[in-house]
């Protein structure tokens, strides 16, 4: 038993070594995400504890492993797909509904959303691959909905829904909300962000480097303010030197990472920051996500709150202030007013200063 566990640990240790020299270098510490058989009890325990794990040997999207570009072109249907276009390899998400909520603030969208058929997308992808100097990249991010053709429906119906239901019920997650099909060029990068949902991230074609940062890294990741179109995204560009005068906590940043390939399923827990990049020296990549809403809040709240609960509370307070005050400068002023001289470190002797301890 101990030998098997040691062998599995060795497997994880040697797994990332094969990517030495193929991944970007980062200044912060990264540990490996465990790779475990989906039948391994430790994998179940990690999912239940909301810790990332790569599950091997699942048949979750076995029927999608044949989703090559020609297969998708022939079977995805003739409807339009969402294709993001970027002048760099970074495809930072933004919420265009928030674009109008700050009239004094000119936001320059980092990517441009276009609609096109899957065939048109493949033509664009091939052109971009042939002309890297044109500095145009494309990334298809299309929800799998009822516009897909019958062969894709058949493949979808044969996903391992039983395995998903078992996990959903064991972990008390809410309903499945969506499946996103992602087809991107080698080197495309989705910058660090967190989602408010649980995710089984399935790799179908090509390889992706996935870096995850626990919710307790919130202060080290410097998310944008909640009213910003890039809410839930980090302001840090992890590939570039980071100015520690502007972002002093960056020296404390630490994360975990892995590379996923066809058939691997990465569990990305809710509120875990993640940055995902298709390997630059590889081919195009294809992935499918399974996003689940969180389960109902526990009937009894226990203190101290978990880090995840604190992130949720922080978001709620920030959201209320943003909705009430509208202007980010006002939010800053009110937050300073609450903290300065009251909760600030220099003034904070004891929370009960001036109160006597009962004898
Ligand atoms: O694969 C990617 O590029 C991004 C995926 C992602 O951010 C997610 O599944 O939450």
CA of 44 to the centre of ligand 1 (A): 22
Question: Considering the domain 2-292 in this protein, what is its CATH number?
Answer: 2.60.120.10
Specify burial of residue 278 (Cβ count, 10 A radius: 0-12, 13-18, 19+): buried
Q: Which residues does a 6 A CB cutoff place in the pocket of ligand 1?
A: 182, 190, 195, 199, 201, 274, 276, 287, 289
Residue nearest ligand 1's atom 3 by CA:
190
Q: Do residues 64 and 288 touch, judged by C-beta distance below 8 A?
A: yes
Residue reference for tokens 């920030």: 318
Crossing angle for the helix pair 161-170 and 41-48, nearest 10 degrees? 50
pLDDT at 1: 47
What ranges do the domains of the chain cover? 2-292, 307-347
CA of 190 to the centre of ligand 1 (A): 6
Would you write out the chain's pLDDT as a tens digit for each of its 359 residues?
A: 455 555 455 555 589 999 999 999 999 999 999 999 999 999 999 999 999 999 999 999 999 999 999 999 999 999 999 999 999 999 999 998 887 656 666 889 999 999 999 999 999 999 999 998 889 999 999 999 989 999 999 999 999 999 999 999 999 999 999 999 999 999 999 999 999 999 999 999 999 999 999 999 999 999 999 999 999 999 999 999 999 999 999 999 999 999 999 999 999 999 999 999 999 998 999 999 999 999 998 889 999 999 999 999 999 999 999 999 998 899 999 999 999 988 887 777 777 777 777 77
Query: How remote is the C-alpha of 327 from its chain's centroid?
Result: 28
CA of 210 to the centre of ligand 1 (A): 9
Q: Pocket of ligand 1, candidates 84, 182, 280: which has the most ligand atoms within 8 Å of its Cβ, to mutate?
A: 182
Q: Pocket of ligand 1, candidates 289, 290, 291, 292: which has the most ligand atoms within 8 Å of its Cβ, to mutate?
A: 289
CA of 143 to the centre of ligand 1 (A): 13
Beta strands 265-268 and 53-56: pairing type?
antiparallel
DSSP codes joined into one string, 172-205: T---EEE-EEEEE-TT-EEEEE--SSEEEEEEEE
Q: Over 208-277, what HEC string results?
A: EEEEEECHHHHHHHCECCCCCCCCCEECCCCCCCCCCCCCHHHHHCEEEEEEECCCCEEEECCCCEEEEE
Output the pTM of the full model: 0.94
CA of 72 to the centre of ligand 1 (A): 19
Spatial CB neighbours of 87, under 8 Å, sequence gap ≥ 6: 135, 136, 137
Q: Which atom of ligand 1 is nearest to the CA of 184?
A: 3
pLDDT at 162: 98
Specify burial of residue 27 (Cβ count, 10 A radius: 0-12, 13-18, 19+): exposed
CA of 294 to the centre of ligand 1 (A): 18
pLDDT at 354: 77
Q: Pocket of ligand 1, candidates 111, 138, 201, 213: which has the most ligand atoms within 8 Å of its Cβ, to mutate?
A: 201
């Amino acid at each position: 038993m101990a030998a098997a566990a040691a062998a599995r640990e060795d497997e994880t240790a040697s797994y990332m070594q094969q990517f030495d020299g193929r991944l970007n270098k980062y200044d912060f510490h990264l540990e490996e995400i465990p790779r475990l058989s989906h039948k391994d009890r430790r994998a179940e325990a990690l999912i239940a504890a909301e810790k990332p794990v790569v599950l091997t040997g699942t048949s979750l999207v076995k029927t999608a492993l044949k989703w090559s570009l020609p297969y998708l072109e022939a079977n995805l249907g003739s409807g339009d797909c969402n294709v993001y276009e970027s002048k760099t390899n970074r495809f930072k998400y933004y919420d265009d509904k928030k674009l109008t909520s700050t009239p004094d603030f000119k936001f320059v969208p980092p990517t441009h959303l276009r609609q096109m058929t899957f065939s048109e997308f493949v033509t664009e992808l091939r052109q971009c691959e042939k002309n890297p100097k044109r500095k145009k990249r494309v990334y298809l991010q299309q929800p799998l909905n009822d516009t897909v053709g019958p062969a894709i429906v058949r493949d979808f119906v044969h996903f391992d829904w039983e395995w998903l239901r078992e996990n959903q019920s064991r972990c008390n997650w809410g309903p499945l909300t969506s499946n996103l099909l992602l087809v991107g060029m080698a080197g495309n990068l989705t910058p660090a962000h967190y989602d408010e949902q649980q995710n089984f991230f399935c790799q179908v074609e090509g390889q992706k480097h996935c870096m995850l940062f626990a919710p307790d890294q919130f202060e080290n990741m410097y998310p944008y303010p909640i009213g910003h179109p890039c809410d839930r995204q980090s302001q840090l560009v992890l590939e570039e030197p980071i100015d520690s005068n502007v972002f002093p906590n960056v020296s404390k940043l630490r994360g975990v990472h892995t590379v996923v390939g066809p058939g691997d399923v990465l569990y990305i827990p809710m509120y875990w920051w993640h940055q995902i990049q298709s390997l630059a020296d590889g081919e195009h990549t294809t992935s499918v996500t399974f996003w689940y809403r969180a389960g109902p809040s526990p009937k009894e709240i226990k203190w101290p709150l978990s880090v995840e609960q604190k992130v949720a509370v922080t978001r709620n307070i920030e959201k209320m202030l943003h909705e009430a005050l509208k202007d980010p400068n006002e939010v800053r002023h009110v937050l300073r007013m609450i903290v300065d001289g009251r909760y600030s470190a220099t003034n904070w002797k004891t929370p009960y200063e001036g109160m006597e301890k009962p004898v």
